[in-house]
Amino acid sequence: MSERIGFVSTRFAGTDGVSLESAKWAEVLWSYGHESFWYAGLLDRDPAVSHCVPEAHFEHPENIWINQRIWGRYERDPLVSRRIRDTADYLKSTLYDFTKRFDISVLVAQNALTIPMNVPLGVALTEFLSETRMPAIAHHHDFYWERIRFSVNAVNDHLDFAFPPRANNIQHVVINEAAQEELAFRKGSASLLVPNVFDFEVPAPQIDDYTKDLRAELGFAPDDVIILQPTRIVPRKGIEHSIKLVEALKNPKYKLVISHDAGDEGYEYLHMLSELAEESGVDLHLIGDRISDIRKTNAAGEKMYTLWDLYPHIDFVTYPSLYEGFGNAFLEAIYFRLPILINRYSIFARDIEPKGFRIPLMDGFLTRQVIEEVRRLLEDPAYRAQTVEHNYAVAKRFFSYPLLRRRLRTLITNITGLD
């Protein structure tokens, strides 16, 4: 029996992990005949199956006003409590509208009951599910206790109530083992582990007519070796290690490229990286202004490329993050059959490394052995091919759509009682 499934979040747009993984879930659910519908404050889904409520977005002015008064302090003004309550009541009414409009039978909360970017939305969702007893899946990507900025707050009552809630009509899903343990310890809630996945059964896109001139468009010579850091420019991404790696390789043809912009956490880190690259003699290219969610042209008439347009032109990927909830960029590199350097962040060490990938690994710093392994992957085509094919096979076994199909079938059966 098919279900009409409503996905709920603050945003379903762009290339953030929540938007990408929710689209994969919808694709797999569709293969079982389940229809998907979308509720968020910002949406790039088909308007015919979407319900946009601007107040649900974390950047809505009302939510920004609330956030400025609840984080980094222990007391909150009664006015803040009233505005949280009023916004939650309004959002709850829109959830009723959404589920009635599309005749929703199952709700999937995508990180909206996990990280408190929009506290009123979490409260609204929790109350809605308590009132309707609708079967629900809460897909958790980033818990609030994993982020220092939420440790001092004036909304512990709401965090305990809604992030996530305790309810027997909600099936919890986490993306790594540490989150599974912490959820059980802090909330007494069992969960199913569903890692991020890629469709390794389908070959990655290759260079086409639109992207064949990408290297020239972005200012690279045909024989340049492009080393990609496919992340935002924020301190936890460890980009200084990528700069030091390229410096240690001592080849002027090796170019370091950062695909995303700075700004999420200020620009001081970007300035530090620019100075470090200059001092280290590393040719650093910041191309965030040429990377978009979709192919288009910018105001200057220049082509804009997607991240997946970029990957077929890349020679090596660096991913020296200090922390990741899972690591979609890792799977992307494997999917495009690219060698990658990893800093052994805790989730990688526990959930991914034991699967048997062959990867140069840092433990917080570069060693001569790691540098030489990277050099070999760049300069020995046979060794490189053997390595990336091995990694592709491992990822196809552990992080591909068949696993997601099995887990989603289990989830739907658990919450609906229907096979």
pLDDT tens for each residue of 33-85: 899 999 999 999 999 999 999 999 999 999 999 999 999 999 999 999 999 99
Residues 300 and 313 in one domain: yes
pLDDT tens for each residue of 238-265: 999 999 999 999 999 999 999 988 766 6
pLDDT at 1: 67
Residues 27 and 150 in one domain: yes
Instruction: Kindly report the CATH number assigned to the domain that includes residue 299.
Output: 3.40.50.2000
Model confidence at 135, pLDDT cuts 50, 70, 90, reads very high
pLDDT tens for each residue of 149-178: 899 999 999 999 999 999 999 999 999 999
pLDDT at 381: 97
Is position 202 within any domain? no
How does DSSP classify residue 111? S
Is position 316 within any domain? yes
Residues 236 and 183 in one domain: no
Number of folded domains that form the chain = 2
Residues 18 and 127 in one domain: yes
Is position 206 within any domain? no
Average pLDDT over residues 206-235: 94
Is position 208 within any domain? no
pLDDT at 16: 80
CA 309 to CA 11: how far, in whole Å? 24
Is position 45 within any domain? yes
Residues 94 and 233 in one domain: no
Give bridge partners of residue 192 from the DSSP assignment: 173
Residues 228 and 101 in one domain: no
Residues 168 and 110 in one domain: yes
Cα distances from 178 to residues 156, 185, 217, 328, in angstroms, run 22, 11, 43, 17
Percent of the chain with pLDDT over 90: 88
pLDDT at 208: 96
**Host domain of residue 312:** 214-398
CB 274 within 8 A of CB 285: no
Residues 164 and 256 in one domain: no
Write out the DSSP string of 190-227: -EEE------TTSPPP---TTTTTHHHHTT--TT-EEE
Model confidence at 419, pLDDT cuts 50, 70, 90, reads low
pLDDT at 418: 64
Is position 374 within any domain? yes
pLDDT tens for each residue of 308-337: 999 999 999 999 999 888 888 999 999 999
Is position 289 within any domain? yes
pLDDT tens for each residue of 343-391: 999 999 999 999 999 999 999 999 999 999 999 999 999 999 999 999 9
Write down the mean pLDDT value for the chain. Answer: 94
Residues 261 and 304 in one domain: yes
SS3 category, 312: helix
Please give the radius of gyration of the chain, using alpha carbons only, rounded to the nearest integer: 22
Give residue for tokens 């490189």. 384
CA dihedral 368, 370, 373, 379 (to 10 degrees): -70
Structure tokens at 94: 């829109």
